[in-house]
Structure 1
C-alpha cells in the first residue's frame, strides 16, 4: 500500500500504523488490512473515474442501514479522493464461520430491517452502483414501474449495446410492465441492502451479523431474498427465521426468477456470456412467449 496514503491516514486519525497488507476485498476494489497497536482498519482503494462516487454511495448506504438499529454495518471513518481514484477506510470486523444461532439472528434482523419503509416511495435519495455499474434510484410511487424503468430496462439496453443480447431477445417495455404489474400488484417499499449475496455479509466474532458493500434503495423486500438464493442460498435456518416475521408469498418463486433476472443481467454485462443462458431462459419464460 502506498506509503504516502498510509502517512495521510495516520495524520488524519492521529494513529501509528504498524502493519498493512492486502486482503480479499471483492472484484471491484483493492483491499488492505491496517493494524495499529490496539486497532485494525479495512481500507478499500479504487482507481476508476467513478471511485469517489462509488465510495460515497457505499458510505451513505452503510450509514442508512446503521441508523435503522436493526442490523450492524462497519463504521466508516474516512472517504476521500486521491490523485487517481479514491479510498474508503472503515473499522475492521473480524469474521468467523456462522453458527446456527448466528444465522437465525441474521434472518430475524434482516426481516426487521425490511420492515423499515419510506412513505410509499420506491428508490432512494441518491443514485448508487451495483458492482461497478451505475444504478438509478429515481423515486417512483409504483413498484412495477420502478423495477422496469430503473432496473430491467437499463441493463437490457446495456446488454444489447454490448452485443450480449440481440434486439429480438429483449422484450418490449409494455410486456415488461404487464408481467411485472401482474406479479407485483401491491408492494410496500422496504429498505434493501440491494446486493445481498453471500460475500456481502459477515458474522463477527461475537455472533453479530454485519452487512457490507450495499447498493441501498427502497424496494420490495423479496429482492434481497432473491439475491440470497442466486448463488447457493443462506441455509434453512436463516430463511425460517426470516419467514417467521415476513411470511413468503404464494408467487414468491415467480417473483424470485424476475428479481434474479436483474442480477443476472448485471453479471452478464460485467462478466460476459457465461450468464447468457440464465438470462435468456427467464426472458423467454416470462416475457417472450
Structure 2
C-alpha cells in the first residue's frame, strides 16, 4: 500500500495509521489490516474498472444485513475510487476458529434472517455481483421466473460465450421453467446472503458470527443452505440449530442440486473447466 493512499486514509478516518499488514485469502481483491494506536480497520483494494460498483454493492449488502438486527456484519466506512479501481474501508473483525456452540448460534441467526420477508417480489433494488461476475436482481413476482431468468440463463449464456459449454448443453428456457415449476414449492421471499460458502463468514474472538462478502437479494431460503453444503465447512450444530427454526420441506434434496447449479456455473465461468463435470451432471439429470 503506497504512502499517498495511507495519508489519504488517515485524513478520511481522522486517525494516524501506524501499521499496514497484508492479509491473504482473497480471490479478487488485495486486503490489508490497518492499525492505529486505538483502532483496527480492514481495507480491500481492487484494480478492476468495475471495482467501485462492486464495493458499493458489497457495502449496501452489508448495511442491509446490519439493519435486520438478526446477524452481525462489519461496519462500513468508505468506498472510493483508487487508481483504475477502488478501495473499501470497513471494520476489522478479529476472528477465531469456530466452536460447535458458535456454529449453533450462527445457524439460529441465519434462520432468523431468512424468516424476514419484507418484499413481495424476488430480487433486489439494485444489481450486484457474485464474486466479480455481474448478478442481475431484476424483480419478479414468482420464484421460478426469477431463478431461471436472473440466475441460470445469464451464467449458462456466459459459459457458452467463454467456450466452456456447447450450445447443445444449454436447456431451453421453457424446459427449465417446467422443471423448476414442478420442483419448487410456494416460495416466500427471504433475504439471502447470496454467496454463503465457508469463506464468507467468520466468528469473532468473542464468539459472534459475522457475515461478509454478501451478494444479497430476496429469494428462496434453501439457496443459502444449498451453497453451505456445496463446499462444506458448517457442521451439524449449524444445520441442527437452523432446522429447529426452519424445518426442511419435501423435495429439498432435489432442489439443492438445482440451487448448487448456479454456483457451479459461476465457478465454471470464473475458475474454468474443472467445474464443467458437475455442471453437466446436473444439467443432464434435470433437463
TM-score by length of 2: 0.99
Aligned residues of 2:80 and 2:87 also touching (Cα < 8 A): yes
Partner residue, 1:202 = 202
Please give the residue correspondences for 1:261-276 in structure 2 after superposition, counting only pairs within 5 Å: 261-276=261-276
Structure 1: how far apart are the matches of 2:119 and 2:263? Answer: 26
Partner residue, 1:169 = 169
TM-score by length of 1: 0.98
Partner residue, 1:181 = 181
- How far residue 262 of structure 1 moved from its aligned partner, in angstroms, is 0.1
Which ranges of 4 or more aligned residues in structure 1 deviate by more than 2 Å? none
Aligned residues of 1:32 and 1:43 also touching (Cα < 8 A): yes
> Structure 1: which 5+ residue stretches go unaligned?
none
Q: 1:25 to 1:7 in 2, by over 3 A?
A: farther
- How far residue 25 of structure 1 moved from its aligned partner, in angstroms, is 4.2
RMSD: 0.7
> Structure 2: which 5+ residue stretches go unaligned?
none
Structure 1: how far apart are the matches of 2:183 and 2:3? Answer: 54
> What secondary structure, in the 3-state scheme, does the structure 2 residue paired with 1:93 have?
coil
> What secondary structure, in the 3-state scheme, does the structure 2 residue paired with 1:244 have?
helix
Q: Which moved more, 1:188-197 or 1:22-31?
A: 22-31
Structure 1 residues 82-115: Cα deviation after superposition (integer angstroms, max 9, x where no partner):
2321000001000001111100000000000001
Is 2:56 aligned against 1:53? no
Structure 1: how far apart are the matches of 2:152 and 2:204? Answer: 35
Structure 2: how far apart are the matches of 1:201 and 1:145? Answer: 29
Structure 2: how far apart are the matches of 1:175 and 1:259? Answer: 16
Structure 1 residues 218-243: Cα deviation after superposition (integer angstroms, max 9, x where no partner):
00000000000011241001000000
- How far residue 81 of structure 1 moved from its aligned partner, in angstroms, is 0.9
Structure 1: how far apart are the matches of 2:170 and 2:139? Answer: 25
Partner residue, 1:248 = 248
Partner residue, 1:228 = 228
> What secondary structure, in the 3-state scheme, does the structure 2 residue paired with 1:226 have?
helix
> What secondary structure, in the 3-state scheme, does the structure 1 residue paired with 2:87 have?
strand
Partner residue, 2:157 = 157
Aligned residues of 1:192 and 1:216 also touching (Cα < 8 A): yes
